[in-house]
Structure 1
Amino acid sequence: MSGLRLFNVATGGAVEIVAHTAVRERHLQELVETNMEALLGVRFLASEYSTGPRHGGRIDTLGIDENGSPVIVEYKRGRDAGVIPQGLFYLSWLADHRAEFQLLVRERLGATAAAQVLWSTPRLICVAESFTRYDVHAVREIQRNIDLVRYHYFGHELLALEPVVSVTSSARERRAVSRMEPAVTLLPGPRVADGPLDEIRSVLDDVLVSLGDDVTQVERKQYLAYRRLKNFACVGRAQQRQVVVYLKVDPGTVDLVPGFTRDVREIGHHGTGALEVRLRSEKDVERAGDLFRLSYEAA
């Protein structure tokens, strides 16, 4: 259990709200499934999904995240070392049943979503009351796309989700490349022969990755996403004279600057985020630092 302590100070005093586990594992599962997009950035597909007589199991929750990656969510009311091996077993099942999963996506979310499933980065999210240091070490060594998330109930009305570790299968390689070569190699699309833009991308990558140890990257054809549990920055395909980033920041809470920041809530764009930031120099990256942190903290 984490060291987080929560106090009610509404009356001027400080009354601690004691953390506790779910009364039933199913209650936790139902709560998360009902609010998956808000809590995990994942669209719900199915609950207690049968893997058939051959595999003889039931996946707690199936979903698809905002980048199109298939997601398996497994829950444990307390601490259970078996949750990670169980989830890995289901990831292997998923790899062998792509057509079945895409049919499910088509039925629930439509043909467009089914055509955009990103099979290079299927994810396992384990939600439990606590994890051991051995769990964390194992996840980092396994080299699969795994998120360990610790939950706490506080009283009857508050639920806290705390990312413990997030790992992507190619995170180490991608970050190593970013330190050795211009960051344009991380972005989709053809290379643009523009030294200043290369430098902007390199500085931007350093800034976004350094926001926290839980930052991972997911590459799509149209953008490169930086995420925790959810995306917090999507760097778009290279443009002629600028680098465009979309952030999970409410445009109504910031002073928009023409040519630098823009509200794109009603404007179609690739990636996720309602605030567009246009970077034309390294100074612009520094100028947007507070916006990057706000988006990271909200993810």
Structure 2
Amino acid sequence: MAPAQHDGGSGSPARMTRFDDLYDQPDPRAYFRVLGALDYQTPQHAQGVFRRLLRAAVAAAPADRATGERPGTVLDLCCSYGINAALLNHDVTLAELAAHYTSAEAAGLSTAELIARDRRFYAARRRPDAVPVVGIDIAAPALGYARAAGLLDAAFAENLETAAPGPALRQALRGLRLITVTGGASFLSARTFRSLLAEDAAREGGRDLPWVAAFVLRTGSYRPIADGLARLGLTTEKDETRTYPQRRFTDADEQKYAVAAVTAAGDDPSGKESLGHFHTALYVSRPAAQAAARPLSTLLPAP
């Protein structure tokens, strides 16, 4: 997991603008200032999608044998400052968050003062159906903010590409129902998901595996991760009804790269990358029986 991509980054570091420094800040003010100027949209697209998928994943999972409850923990990979958790669990939009963090009032606060303000801000907007969210990221400053602001119930600066999850992370992921990715797929491989899910896949034929929902830039391929998830027992479907604008290009060279990469991948950039924005595609992975029981199209908001 590399901070160049995260939920606001942009893929291949050799050809696309890097945003590494945005994730080494003590709070998300620079993140919203820079990415907001580029019309960054992915977390807003994800808000409604993740809420709907989580409800369906919880309903499809077996109830806990001891309590009869259906836990609904979410794991956000490459979570940075907890933006997905903010949008999932609170009545707020990405545009409202951008205004909140780029306001003149926010500019005059210390990080500690901003955190105190944010805790009040989010507490006033907390949804009654809020769920536990665990975040994983290698950017410790971003994780620290998300935890201090109360957006994440647990946060772990662990790189699952190179090491197995620690015992504390394993404990935090009990009741996991949905894994979300809104950026970072270009820097993840099947190794991360194998580290997270191999033990669960070995139990009960993998019937209790969580779902995975990933917004993936069209400049790369999700096939290696999808193949890895298939080996664990998850079948992957792509939302074929639409693509989702991510952000504007930083310059003409970045657009030229994106158009060429999308074309090479067998997709058509016309009306999408050709008009000035990166676009993502949504991939959803579920246990095969659950995927067969309910078509993906019935789980997503109308195009």
- Per the normalisation by structure 2, the TM-score is 0.29
Larger Rg: 1
Query: Greater relative contact order (Cα 8 A, min sep 6): structure 1 or 2?
Result: 2
Q: Which structure dedicates a bigger proportion of its chain to helix?
A: 2
Q: Which structure dedicates a bigger proportion of its chain to strand?
A: 1
- Per the normalisation by structure 1, the TM-score is 0.30
